[in-house]
Amino acid sequence: MAYNITLIPGDGIGPEVIYAAKKVIDASGVEINWEVVEAGSKVIDEYGTPLPDYVLESINKNKVALKGPVTTPVGKGFRSVNVALRKTFNLYANIRPIKTYEGVPSRYKDVDLIVVRENTEDLYAGIEHMVSEDIAESVKIISKKASDRIVKYAFELAKKENRKKVTAVHKANIMKLSDGLFLKCSKEMAEKYKEIAFEDVIVDAMSMKLVLNPEKYDVLVMPNLYGDILSDMASGLVGGLGIVPGANIGEDIAIFESAHGSAPDIAGQDKANPAATMLSGALMLKYLGEFKAADKIEKAIAKVLKEGKHVTFELGGNAGTKEFTEAVINEL
């Protein structure tokens, strides 16, 4: 069966890393009809927006997209394409698998955890106002519905991936109502998944514990703001954004993309590391149920990283995007 997938090349290094990932996915044997749709700064002049309707229509139709990074124009009044996609399709779960790969410089070994971040509320609900000229107020929204949904997602993910433990991260000792509700929902959900261990950790302690012993953690679930910060921090533990994939997942639509941005400083120079986008492609294949192909791609990337002969400059190598891609395809 061939899958119909929306492919959004994006801006900056986007097209380079996206076509590298597409090549690798095509070489894995899974049959995909790619529907390429352009978004971002290159379409603003023609369509008056970085996110034209045809992009939304394509995602709505195909239900799954692989996306390159999109530049957010500063001070031009456009809202971020990423925020707009998240809101339009109610992509409530942001997933960031964090894993050490041999050959990638990192202080740690054997890290293999997943950060599951609630994507729709918390301080990101955008409810802010000035109370007076000198006082600003931001409203933090935590609901039972969104907390139950994200914690359930984390437990289901743990079950599906044979993982042993879910850790809920919060600050309920101070924000007794909002984070208290998130914690209560987490504890209640844990009762329904007795086969998976559960613990809760306060976010400041979690930051320290992650830096000290990241290998002790498995699936971490948390509200939006803590997830934003800890998922980037955790990426740093294993060698940076160049090798960290990601996904934004909703009820029936999912968009897969690396965690890094459009890197305008190295765009068009055959310098970008496409590993994170390839690994996002592997995540997408898992989502589609193509576990063998996903595993094959991840192993091929791991081998090329370990060998170190064809890695890009930010990992200390001399290879370009194309050379890395060819090396991964050879391993496949």
Mind telling me the catalytic residues? Answer: 124, 171, 204, 228
Residue number of the CB atom closest to ligand NAI: 261
First to last CA, the chain: 21
Q: Identify which range of 27-35, 56-64, 142-150, 258-266 contacts ligand NAI by CB under 6 A.
A: 258-266
Shortest distance, CB of residue 97 to ligand NAI, whole angstroms?
16
Residue 257 binds ligand NAI, judged by CB under 6 A: yes
Q: Identify which range of 55-63, 91-99, 209-217, 272-280 contacts ligand NAI by CB under 6 A.
A: 272-280
Would you mind telling me the total number of residues written for the chain in this entry? 332
Residue 284 binds ligand NAI, judged by CB under 6 A: no
**What is the residue type of 214?**
P
Q: What secondary structure letter does DSSP report for 259? A: S
Cβ closer to ligand NAI: 60 or 80?
A: 80
Instruction: Please count the residues of this chain forming the interface with ligand NAI, following the rule CB under 6 A.
Output: 20
Which of 6, 62, 82, 186 is close enough to bind ligand NAI by CB under 6 A? 82
What 137-144 contacts at long range (C-beta under 8 Å, 24+ apart), as own/partner pairs, is: 140/175, 140/178, 141/178, 142/178, 142/179, 142/181, 142/182, 142/223, 143/181, 144/181, 144/185
DSSP letters of 166-195? EEEEE-TTTSTTHHHHHHHHHHHHHHT-TT
Shortest distance, CB of residue 181 to ligand NAI, whole angstroms?
29
Shortest distance, CB of residue 305 to ligand NAI, whole angstroms?
13
3-state secondary structure of 256: strand
Binding site for ligand NAI (CB under 6 A): 13, 17, 69-72, 82, 241-242, 257, 260-263, 265-266, 272-273, 276, 314
